[in-house]
Amino acid sequence: MKIFVTGGAGYIGSHVVKALGSKGHEILVYDNLSTGHLWAVLYGRLIQGDLSDAAFLEDTIAAFQPEAVIHFAASIQVEESVREPLKYYRNNVANTLNLLEAMNHCGICNLIYSSTAAVYGIPETIPVSEIAPLCPINPYGVSKAMVESILKDLAKSGSFSYIALRYFNVAGADPEGLIGQAYAEATHLITRSLKTAKGEYDRLSIYGTDYPTPDGSCIRDYIHVNDLADAHVAALEHLMAGNGSEIMNCGYGHGFSVKEVVAAAKHVTGIDFTVVETGHRAGDPPALVANSSRLRNKTGWTPRYDDLELIIRTAWEWEKRLSQMATSRK
């Protein structure tokens, strides 16, 4: 199948491109390389382009004539979205409209969309299921919920079909060692912990220990990036089989607190890095854990890496490789 992948040079996108490419699909990645990397695209071709360039985007899609689009390209940091909301509405909403219009003009009507658990805000029930109300508490979550509304309306208006995958906390790296998370600034908990263990930061801050959780720190559902990649393959197959539009949570269904993750990172690395407890980070809900029975039951998805230490170990191997790559460039 011909698949057009926005943001395919990024962390999650590159793992999905690998999963699809290894199954023989023909892939065209469209990425502005603002946070992605050329080396991360292991299959298919890459065109460097920005979603804000509507004419170039449409010309590229028209020339490739994909059967489906997977849309990763977006701004993704909760705290940054609180500081710079317009960036999130521009990148995540306005640019997605450019993509949807280009698809519409080219007659492409199948989309897998990267949504987020942040659309739920502070869920009343944990694990949270897809039918829970959407009450995002930060501009990142609002921007993703807005696009979900647009997709719903678009699907009602004609032959357009989509699956929105609501990601929980994606972590880890491909065990084959060629791709992993490589942002200029590490903000995610597991990456930040491992970079602190490596000595790139002098301490790890735990943002809040007075949340209404058993140990007072926030709880998240950490999913290995390869399991998330498999979820995309399964969702795409489900969509292309004509099953209609759907929204699916992507997580394991159990969570770990920040303190538990930090302890696991120390155990995996064998390094007792410095940890300090500080105030809350803006926009953080106390707990986010997925009910992922819809994804499992409808697509047959079965996770392969549901083990926090295994996830951290793959991320740690990747961090060591990043250090080697940096040394060899000197």
Q: Are 6 and 34 in contact (CB under 8 A)?
A: no
Q: Which range in 88-96, 152-160, 202-210, 264-272 contacts ligand UFG by CB under 6 A?
A: 202-210
Q: Is the peptide bond before 286 cis (omega within 30 degrees of 0)?
A: no
Q: Which residue is nearest to ligand UFG (CB)?
A: 218
Catalytic one among 88, 113, 120, 140?
140
Beta bridge partners of 220: 256, 288
The closest of 229, 299, 249, 246 to 43, measured between CA atoms, is 229
Q: Which stretch binds ligand UFG (CB under 6 A): 64-72, 84-92, 176-184, 200-208?
A: 200-208
Among 194, 229, 288, 289, binds ligand UFG (CB under 6 A): 288
Q: How far is the CB of 190 from ligand UFG (least distance, A)?
A: 7
Ranges within 135-194 binding ligand UFG (CB under 6 A)? 168-169, 187-189, 192
Q: Supply the DSSP symbol for 40.
A: G
Q: Does 281 bind ligand UFG (CB under 6 A)?
A: yes
The structure tokens 């944990």 sit at 126
**Residue 99 or 258 with smaller CB distance to ligand UFG:** 258
Q: Does 118 bind ligand UFG (CB under 6 A)?
A: yes
- Contact pick of 9, 70, 218, 322 for ligand UFG (by CB under 6 A): 218
Among 130, 227, 230, 284, binds ligand UFG (CB under 6 A): 284
Residue 222: both structure tokens together = 């950490």
Lay out the site mask for ligand UFG across 77-96 (x = CB under 6 A, - = otherwise): -x------------------
**CA R_g for the chain:** 19
Measured at the alpha carbon of residue 5, what is the angle toward residues 87 and 41, in degrees to the nearest 5? 100
Stretch that binds ligand UFG, among 36-44, 129-137, 173-181, 201-209 (CB under 6 A): 201-209
Closer of 30 and 273 to ligand UFG (Cβ): 273
**Please, which residue, 198 or 281, has the CB nearer to ligand UFG?**
281
Residues in contact with 213: Cβ distance below 8 Å, sequence separation at least 6, in sequence order: 219, 257, 286, 287
Which of the stretches 7-15, 101-109, 127-135, 199-207 binds ligand UFG when contact is defined by CB under 6 A?
199-207
259 counts as binding ligand UFG under rule CB under 6 A: no
Instruction: Report strand pairing: 68-71 vs 110-116.
Output: parallel
Long-range contacts of 25-32, Cβ-Cβ distance < 8 Å, separation of 24 or more = 25/1, 26/1, 26/2, 27/2, 27/3, 28/2, 28/3, 28/4, 28/60, 28/64, 28/66, 29/5, 30/4, 30/5, 30/6, 30/57, 30/60, 30/73, 31/6, 31/7, 31/73, 32/73
| Tokens matching residue 329 | 């460039």
140 is catalytic: yes
Binding site for ligand UFG (CB under 6 A): 76, 78, 116-118, 168-169, 187-189, 192, 204-207, 218, 220, 258, 281, 284, 288
Catalytic residue IDs? 140
